Chains A and B, each alone.
Chain A
Amino acid sequence: MRKLIAILLLMTMLIPAALADEAADFALPMDHSAGHVADPAGYTESGYEDESLSITMERIQEDGVTYNVARVKIAHASQLRTGLEDPEKGKKSNYVHNIAARYNAVLALSGDFFVKNKVGYVVRQGQVYRKKPTEARDMLLIDSNGDFHVVYRSNAEDLQALLSRTDVTFPNIFNFGPVLVDKGEAVAIPEKYEFNLKRYEPRCAIGQVGPLEYLLVVADGRSDTSTGAKGEQLASFMASQGCITAYNLDGGDTALLWFGGDYYSRKTKRAQSDIIYFATAVDAGLDGTEE
């Protein structure tokens, strides 16, 4: 009996350690380096699958809008990454497909296009590019565990409270908004916001569904087949898809979803500064072989 108890105790100590080691195995450096090159065998009919990364792509038609949806699950928070055309200064632009290819992204979403203006507390992969939060915008902070936090109107006290936390860091901070979903509920779109959320336009959003689980959405617009969405439509959609937190990113011609080497959403020709992307943490031995 004693032996059995000893074995059980040993197992309870070893199993969490083994799980932690497994997660650590999938850690990528939180800098501007690229992810591993994905094994082409990982691509399935509807997405991508390997030990560290699961992606399911889907197009959903709702009220005349085509929503391009990517459901993502990762093994480690470092697989949720951001890529810049100009990681040194953060000032240049390029097409999403070029930036995504450079970082070996499996899936990429257009970001907040921060070079278009001079505001925001801009942090990407732990590097600070600008310290100018603006009360005209809500902020999205992604912490080192991959969890989302929002700061309405860049409220200084709320921001300071988050940044003073010692248990996590915030390697990626976005300045666009508004917040679409908070605590699982669709948020009412503000009457006055820096961007027009009342028109039917192409929209772009990212949401967190659970621990290390995310939803990326681009609503097509300006076409015969999809009208584009209003902010409130997008908020409802993100909530209906199970997001706990969701945040609006730059829309219009900026809004793009790229998967496995091609655009999944309606293609546009706008160059931009930054992407949010997901990379595999499995080294398939293909690094350095990309074109």
Chain B
Amino acid sequence: MSQKIRNILLTILSAALLIGFAAAIPSPVISDEALDAYWAEAAEDDEYAFLFDD
């Protein structure tokens, strides 16, 4: 295998590894649903619990 082809293959492998790592890192974005659920849960336990007495 020529040096040129080896370099191309190494470049492709490096790029694939970078893309793989980037995709594996979880996104920091929290969905609206998750945030709403967090607020609802947090509120039910706190000093304003009386607001949830129906």
Question: Does A222 belong to the interface (CB within 8 Å)?
Answer: no
Question: Does B35 belong to the interface (CB within 8 Å)?
Answer: yes
Nearest CB to that of A134 among chain B residues?
B48
Contact for A118 among B35, B47, B50, B51, CB less than 8 A = B35
Question: Do residues A156 and B52 form an inter-chain contact, with CB atoms below 8 A?
Answer: no
Residues of B within 8 A of A159 (CB): 48
Question: Does B43 belong to the interface (CB within 8 Å)?
Answer: yes
Min CB distance, B32 to chain A, in Å? 9
Question: Does B39 belong to the interface (CB within 8 Å)?
Answer: yes
If A118-B35, A118-B39 touch, whether A131 touches B52 (CB-CB below 8 Å) is yes
Within 8 A of A (CB), among B1-54: 35-36, 39, 42-43, 47-48, 50-52
Min CB distance, A151 to chain B, in Å? 11
What separation, in Å, do the CA atoms of A159 and B46 have in the docked complex? 14
Question: Does A237 belong to the interface (CB within 8 Å)?
Answer: no
What separation, in Å, do the CA atoms of A131 and B48 have in the docked complex? 8
Min CB distance, B44 to chain A, in Å? 9
Nearest CB to that of A154 among chain B residues?
B48
Min CB distance, B9 to chain A, in Å? 50
What separation, in Å, do the CA atoms of A133 and B49 have in the docked complex? 11
Residues of A within 8 A of B39 (CB): 118, 130, 132
Question: Does A95 belong to the interface (CB within 8 Å)?
Answer: no
Report which residue of B39, B43, B51 has the largest number of chain A beta carbons within 10 angstroms of its beta carbon: B51
Residues of B within 8 A of A131 (CB): 43, 48, 51-52
Question: Do residues B50 and A163 form an inter-chain contact, with CB atoms below 8 A?
Answer: yes
Question: Do residues B48 and A133 form an inter-chain contact, with CB atoms below 8 A?
Answer: yes
What separation, in Å, do the CA atoms of A169 and B42 have in the docked complex? 26
Question: Does A160 belong to the interface (CB within 8 Å)?
Answer: yes
Residues of B within 8 A of A133 (CB): 48, 51
Contact for A121 among B35, B42, B48, CB less than 8 A = B48
What separation, in Å, do the CA atoms of A130 and B35 have in the docked complex? 13
Residues of B within 8 A of A132 (CB): 39, 42-43, 48
Question: Beyond the given A132-B39, A132-B43, could you list 14 further A-B residue pairs with CB under 8 A, ordered by the A residue number?
Answer: A121-B48, A121-B51, A130-B39, A131-B51, A132-B42, A132-B48, A133-B48, A156-B47, A156-B48, A156-B50, A159-B48, A160-B50, A163-B50, A163-B51
* A–B pairs, 14, beta carbons within 8 Å: A118-B35, A118-B36, A121-B48, A121-B51, A130-B39, A131-B43, A131-B48, A132-B39, A132-B42, A132-B43, A132-B48, A156-B47, A156-B50, A160-B50
